[in-house]
Structure 1
Amino acid sequence: MPTLSTVLLFVAATMALLIVPGPAVVYIVTRTVAQGRAAGLLSVLGVHVGSIVYVLLTSLGMSALLLASPTVFQIVKWLGVAYLVWLGIQKLRARRADDGTVAEPPPMSNARIFAQGVLVNVLNPKTLVFFVAFLPQFVDPARGPAVWQLLFFGIGFIVLGILSDGSYAMLASVLSGRLRSTAKARRRLDLSSGAIYIILGAIAAAVSQA
């Protein structure tokens, strides 16, 4: 098992990374505002099921192989970029009602909310780079098999991620009434979240393997 000082350092470093909004946080906040707290928390669950995929891949050493393959990395990277841009365009194209106001979009099913949360995280190339480059830094060969340490830190990341992203969902649920109170506010939310998705897609496009 890692030492207490290593665990504390990992928690501090991980929380510093998690509190910076990325595609997952944008998705969670917009879904919470659109459909309420339950939808937001379900998106958090979907996002971190996506994290489980990377935890398992990292622990088994497969993610390092994926990162070492330029072709596979590029496929994951551009699928993620395309998905983020698509989400952004969907927000920017929010339908208007006949009177010129913004029409309320039909609610997503729980299955779709969950699935989109998984995809947002799995198709984020920065997540792959994070798990390959970040987690191994805390592994100490003298403390036991690397696979168990990677699983330990991976599970720790998911727990911290649920706490951090869950806090965003709870805060968004508190503010959602104000954000949804007028058509103008809803339209501004759609435009801003759409723009953020596209910007994040552009940032993801710049991510390299190095």
Structure 2
Amino acid sequence: MNTELWIAYLLATTLILVIPGPTIILVISQAVAHGRRSVIPLAAGVVCGDLAAMTGSLLGLGAIMSASATLFMICKWIGALYLFYLGITLWRPAPKGCEDPATATPAPTHSLFRRSFVVTALNPKSIAFFVAFLPQFVDRHLPMLPQLLLLGGSFLVLALLNALLYALFASQLREFITQPPVRRWFERCGGTALIGAGIFTAGMQRTS
């Protein structure tokens, strides 16, 4: 694969990843709510979700979704409703005696992983990226599989680094917020952002 083309792909992908979408909003809100211990499972869920979306796209799921309004609507609404659910969860008041985050029961690692995986894998925008954007950087005159592995692997590495940096920043922010009422305010801001991301996802239109 042409080196200049690969570098252009890395730069374009980095710009796309840095712009916060539903996945990054989820990562930030969960990292603020659960602290540094949430960084690894959240980032791992993002990478596995992107891998699932990428695999499905390369196997033809993206093309099917582009052609089927019903399938697109199903994936869109599952993702949107899950974002609504997570946002409402952050808005719910903490049980009595658990207002102090230091004594609250932390979310299980598998739960954090599942949340970021589901939101990432079911995001129609992610599938559209692998269907419409990635193939533009494939040289038709060269073997396709090595190029897809390079482009896909590069995307996953960048997605991992992006999720880790956002999660680390949010978890560090949590460490500086010592007052429980202030932490609750940040969590509710995150919940509001997730609900907003759900509304945005629900309003997505199928590309023709």
Same fold by TM-score, threshold 0.5 exceeded? yes
Matches within 5 A, 1:21-32: 21-32=20-31
Residue 123 of structure 2 aligns with an amino acid whose one-letter code is N
Does 2:171 match 1:173?
yes
Report if aligned partners of 2:41, 2:110 keep a CA contact under 8 Å in 1.
no
Percent identical: 33
Using the alignment, how far apart are the partners of 1:103 and 1:73 within structure 2?
Answer: 42
Using the alignment, how far apart are the partners of 2:194 and 2:36 within structure 1?
Answer: 21
Does 2:148 match 1:150?
yes
1:197 is matched with: 194
2:185 is matched with: 188
1:35 is matched with: 34
Using the alignment, how far apart are the partners of 1:154 and 1:106 within structure 2?
Answer: 37
Report if aligned partners of 1:29, 1:40 keep a CA contact under 8 Å in 2.
no
Instruction: State which drifts further: 41-50 or 123-132.
Output: 123-132
Using the alignment, how far apart are the partners of 1:174 and 1:86 within structure 2?
Answer: 25
Deviations 1:52-99 (A, max 9, x none): 11221222233222332111111000101111111111112232637x
Using the alignment, how far apart are the partners of 2:57 and 2:147 within structure 1?
Answer: 11
Matches within 5 A, 1:1-210: 2-95=1-94, 97=96, 102=99, 104=101, 105-145=104-144, 147-179=145-177, 181-210=178-207
Using the alignment, how far apart are the partners of 2:130 and 2:105 within structure 1?
Answer: 35
Deviations 1:3-60 (A, max 9, x none): 1111111111111111111222222223323333232121100111011112212222
How far did 1:192 drift? 0.7
Report if aligned partners of 1:96, 1:103 keep a CA contact under 8 Å in 2.
no
Report if aligned partners of 1:88, 1:193 keep a CA contact under 8 Å in 2.
yes
Instruction: State which drifts further: 198-207 or 148-157.
Output: 148-157
How far did 1:127 drift? 1.3
Using the alignment, how far apart are the partners of 1:63 and 1:131 within structure 2?
Answer: 8
Using the alignment, how far apart are the partners of 1:20 and 1:132 within structure 2?
Answer: 19
Report if aligned partners of 2:41, 2:113 keep a CA contact under 8 Å in 1.
yes
How far did 1:103 drift? 5.3
Deviation beyond 3 Å, 4+ runs, structure 1: 101-105
Using the alignment, how far apart are the partners of 2:120 and 2:16 within structure 1?
Answer: 15
Residue 48 of structure 2 aligns with an amino acid whose one-letter code is V
Report if aligned partners of 1:36, 1:176 keep a CA contact under 8 Å in 2.
yes
Using the alignment, how far apart are the partners of 1:102 and 1:38 within structure 2?
Answer: 19
Structure 2 residue matching 1:204: 3-state secondary structure: helix
Using the alignment, how far apart are the partners of 1:36 and 1:195 within structure 2?
Answer: 19
Using the alignment, how far apart are the partners of 2:167 and 2:77 within structure 1?
Answer: 28
Structure 2 residue matching 1:106: 3-state secondary structure: coil
Paired positions, count: 205
